Structure 1
Amino acid sequence: MRLILVRHALPNRALGGVAAAREAGGEPGAGPALTELGHRQAARVAEALAAEPLAALYTSPLLRARQTGEPLARAREMALLTVPGLAEYDAGEGHYIPVHEMPQADPAAWQRMLDGQLPEYVDVAAFQTRVERALTDIADAHQGTETVVCFAHAGTINVYLAALLGLDRPLTFPLDYTGITRVSVSRGGRRSVRTVNELAHVADLLDPAGVRTGDN
């Protein structure tokens, strides 16, 4: 079977807490909603995967991932199934700082990311185990030549790839918004990384400054 892993589209910034989540168009505990640019990016995912024979669609419970999957779910008239194990390491905190803002907003966190490390408070082994279990369960539910899509997060996808490739750093790959990663799983359970961070479908929509300058 084949796993198509999609990082969520660009969300609003939220600094945590119920009020901040609602101000960012989101839900308490689920983080912020997508920006206008993020919704355009999400629509491109539906276009990019239009010809794929899909058996199921899965999503992290966080709002930014769910909203990224909604255009594809509508286009294919398929249910978007929520899997708690696909959530990002910061699930439940309700905060989010877009990557392009991190060098100024949180230099220390930005440097750790550049070094390929998750925040110090994260139990990396537990997080990786949770993600692997979720994706293994999904793979076990779809045998043969079935293809499924999982809408998730940069940390989630990175720790899964690190496990598959035997990498020491949990954040090895700089995954872009709506970047597509493909993994094949054999009948015997052998997992092979086919592509990482495909961007052709959204390359012209990856500059968040486009919204601020009035680019439509």
Structure 2
Amino acid sequence: MATVILLRHARSSANGSGILAGRSPRVSLDATGTKQAQELVGRLAQVPLAAVVTSPLLRCRQTLAPLLAERGITARADSRLSEVDYGEWTGRKLASLGKEPLWRVVQAHPSAAVFPGGEGLAAVQARAVAAVRAHDAAVTAAHGDHAVWLLCSHGDVIKSILADALGQHLDSFQRIVVDPCSVSAVRYTDTRPFVMRVNDHGSDMAGLVPPPPKAKGRKKKVSGDAVIGGSTGR
């Protein structure tokens, strides 16, 4: 299967003000986030992208705008990759939410957390994992096992995808850190996913591109076997 780069949107005005933005429609990137989005072009310069899929929210579209303009490609929006519907928590200060009884559930037992008037984190993981696997299968069918594609979404959504790829219960997903404009990566195979990067802020992403098949004239399937003793490097 292909390799997916999981990009969290760049820093937004809500990130800088301690507000739970949720699905608020007009939350845009702040000055730091705008700079991060511009720098993303260079960070991914050595990575060919077979497809780009994004949450429909403004801050994700703004994050991708410089990259898409540079590549001359269009992103496909998928509502299954949208931010968590935090319901009545949307737009509230994180400092005040920390006093709510549900806060401790979100921290310690997130699979049981359902936001008032919104959705539950278990449902978020189900929709996000279904989306990433469906898009990965489509990219693989169209471009082959050695294709790389990009998904732009939100912190909790990406954390839930990574927890699934790591074989962790959703109750452990709060142990994963995914900062604004960080890159994580997963390579799916028939037998297991391989987590290639988590919360990466580095500048060289070329290592995410699988080596081309050695045999000419036929496609070599990416192995689902782990390397004994760790990676052999390149």
TM-score (norm 2): 0.69
Aligned-residue offset at 1:91 = 7.2
- Picking from 188, 198, 201, the partner of 2:200 is 198
Name whichever structure is richer in strand by fraction: 1
Structure 1 residue 40 and structure 2 residue 35: aligned? Answer: yes
Q: 1:140 to 1:154 in 2, by over 3 A?
A: same
1:81 is aligned to: 76
- Picking from 175, 178, 188, the partner of 1:175 is 178
Aligned-residue offset at 1:190 = 3.0
Q: 1:92 to 1:42 in 2, by over 3 A?
A: farther
1:166 is aligned to: 167
Letter in 1 for 2:125: Q
Paired residues of 2:187 and 2:193 also in contact (CA < 8 A): yes
1:210 is aligned to: none
Equivalent pairs, count = 184
Give the Cα separation in 2 of the matches to 1:39 and 1:80.
18
1:153 is aligned to: 154
1:12 is aligned to: 13
1:132 is aligned to: 129
Give the Cα separation in 2 of the matches to 1:94 and 1:68.
24
Aligned-residue offset at 1:2 = 0.5
Larger Rg computed on CA atoms: 2
Give the Cα separation in 2 of the matches to 1:154 and 1:133.
17
1:108 is aligned to: 99
Give the Cα separation in 1 of the matches to 2:24 and 2:188.
32
Among all aligned residue pairs of Structure 1 and Structure 2, give the percentage whose two residues are the same amino acid.
28
Give the Cα separation in 2 of the matches to 1:123 and 1:182.
25
Aligned-residue offset at 1:156 = 0.7
Gap regions ≥5 residues in structure 1: 15-23, 202-216
Aligned Cα root-mean-square deviation (Å): 2.8
Gap regions ≥5 residues in structure 2: 16-20, 204-234
1:204 is aligned to: none
Aligned-residue offset at 1:200 = 2.2
Q: Deviations over 1:5-64 (max 9, x none)?
A: 0001111139xxxxxxxxx9xxx8534011121111111112100110111111101111
Give the Cα separation in 1 of the matches to 2:161 and 2:74.
24
TM-score (norm 1): 0.74
Paired residues of 1:180 and 1:199 also in contact (CA < 8 A): yes
SS of the aligned residue for 2:164 comes to: helix
Give the Cα separation in 2 of the matches to 1:50 and 1:193.
21
Q: 1:94 to 1:84 in 2, by over 3 A?
A: farther
Q: Deviations over 1:188-213 (max 9, x none)?
A: 26311111010124xxxxxxxxxxxx
Give the Cα separation in 2 of the matches to 1:145 and 1:162.
23
Give the Cα separation in 2 of the matches to 1:72 and 1:94.
32
